[in-house]
Amino acid sequence: MSLTLDTVITRIEAAEITGKRPRVIGRNSHKGTHGRFVYEPAVRIHTDAGIAGWGWSKATKRDAEAFIGANVADLFDLDTGTIQSALIFDIPLWDLAGQLIAKPVYKLLGDQGPDLVPVYDGSIYIDEIDLATGRDEGVGPMLNAVRMGMATGFRAFKVKVGRGFKWMKEHAGMRRDIEVLSAIRDLVGPNITLMIDANNGYTPKQAKQILSETRDCDIYWIEEPFHENIDDLLALKRHIEKQGLSTLIADGEGSEDNHLEFKELVKAGCLDIVQFDFRQYSLTKWKQYMPNFQDTGALAAPHNFGSHLSGFYIPQFARGIGNFATSETDIMAMDGVIASGYQMVDGFMELPAGPGFGLDLDEELFQQAMRNTGWSV
């Protein structure tokens, strides 16, 4: 078999795949309940070599029609990734390239990271409050969520804070945020990593307060503490240093349309962790941007919530590129996706050695999903 990208696209298929979380996910500082079900668009690209690649993609049937008959070598370069005009198919093309070259994606990326990739549970939301009924269950629901994550194999957790922005009065919300973090740290002990995410729900003053009053919780990073500007972020960094804390500042998730602005924040030394959303920014753009980190000391940790599939893509990226912090995972069962080559043990993800992303489709279930929600050209 010739290991080459020189092959022609003959058919493209798409379907929506349904994922179900083990529990309902609650609120963040701004948005209501995030629910239990996730619907991910998947596209599979077939070639005249008899080899296919698949993955997350929002491509439409009309998008796909323009690529039938295209040569994969004209759409994807092993050094630079997917060309700009084909980025709608970025993940399927990376998988296809790996299948054609018979290498896992992390080897296509350079295999510069650790063999075992640290992962974290990003599902510790504001679960205790129901405004419609007046229910407030205190810290219990968050502790139960952490227990579930520990049983799954996680050893790092991101906890939503910022209750006082919308769901509680300001003072009471801050006290509850502190209570939750203290209770979780007491539950898990000193060797588990904790991060917090305010989704821009704090003021600069409140961000300093939460870090000062949870100093015993050893917070690894504070994410999206407030609406971003250089002066406030640098002031927060000075506060962290003055307090003798090691907490990092993470941001970038909400930067879909203003990546240039966030890149300026990185250059200014405001951010320690960069979190452009993995699906919206694309694997190819992440690969191209990573050299910018070398002079700043910042680490990558792409945002991923609402995607089961990206919980496998990001560890491939991390092992391939290096200069990486930890991978966000949204745990759920997803009908038709076979990921048996991925194993999580004590907070680390072991990756499969097979080609592409190492994910397979249950053909019967995928064909059923195509009939229900999909298309083929």
Residue 235 has phi, psi (to 5 degrees) of -65, -40
In this structure, how many other beta carbons lie within 10 angstroms of the beta carbon of residue 357? 29
C-alpha to C-alpha distance for 160 and 83, rounded to whole angstroms:
37
Q: What is the pLDDT of residue 2?
A: 53
Q: What is the pLDDT of residue 259?
A: 61
Residue closest to 161 by CA, chosen among 117, 136, 198, 205: 198
What does the buried/exposed string (b/e) look like for 225-258 if buried means 16 or more CB atoms within 10 Å of the residue's CB? Answer: bbebeeebbebbbebbeeeebebbbbbbbbbeee
Q: What is the pLDDT of residue 257?
A: 55
C-alpha to C-alpha distance for 114 and 365, rounded to whole angstroms:
34
Mean pLDDT of 259-271: 81
Q: What is the pLDDT of residue 260?
A: 62
C-alpha to C-alpha distance for 87 and 83, rounded to whole angstroms:
6
Domain positions in the chain: 9-102+360-376, 116-350
Mean pLDDT of 158-163: 98
Mean pLDDT of 70-91: 98
- The residue type found at 70 is A
C-alpha to C-alpha distance for 190 and 115, rounded to whole angstroms:
25
C-alpha to C-alpha distance for 5 and 312, rounded to whole angstroms:
23
Q: What is the pLDDT of residue 294?
A: 73
Our measurement of the distance from residue 363's CA atom to the centroid of its chain's CA atoms, rounded to an integer in Å, reads 26
pLDDT at 89 over 90: yes
Q: Positive or negative, the Cα torsion across 268, 270, 272, 273?
A: negative
Residue closest to 180 by CA, chosen among 133, 222, 126: 126
Tell me the CATH number for domain 9-102+360-376.
Answer: 3.30.390.10
Mean pLDDT of 130-158: 94
What is the rounded average pLDDT for all residues in the chain? 94
Look at domain 116-350 and name its CATH class.
alpha beta
Mean pLDDT of 341-362: 97
Mean pLDDT of 340-350: 96
Q: pLDDT grade, residue 255 (50/70/90)? A: low
Q: What is the pLDDT of residue 86?
A: 98
Q: What is the pLDDT of residue 261?
A: 73
- The residue type found at 211 is L
Our measurement of the distance from residue 204's CA atom to the centroid of its chain's CA atoms, rounded to an integer in Å, reads 25
Q: pLDDT grade, residue 158 (50/70/90)? A: very high
Q: What is the pLDDT of residue 256?
A: 54
Q: What token pair was written down for 95? A: 């998988």
Contacts of 52 (CB under 8 A, 6+ apart): 44, 45, 46, 96, 99
C-alpha to C-alpha distance for 19 and 335, rounded to whole angstroms:
7
C-alpha to C-alpha distance for 196 and 239, rounded to whole angstroms:
17
Mean pLDDT of 161-179: 97
pLDDT at 21 over 70: yes
In angstroms, the Cα distances linking 34 to 26, 196, 243 are 6, 18, 35
Q: What is the pLDDT of residue 1?
A: 45
pLDDT per residue as tens digits for the range 315-330: 999 999 999 999 999 8
Mean pLDDT of 267-277: 92
Name the least confident of 38-47, 288-297, 349-358: 288-297
Mean pLDDT of 127-145: 92
Q: Which residue intervals of the chain are DSSP H helices?
A: 61-65, 72-75, 90-101, 105-108, 140-152, 170-188, 204-213, 230-242, 259-267, 278-281, 283-289, 310-321, 363-373
Mean pLDDT of 190-211: 98
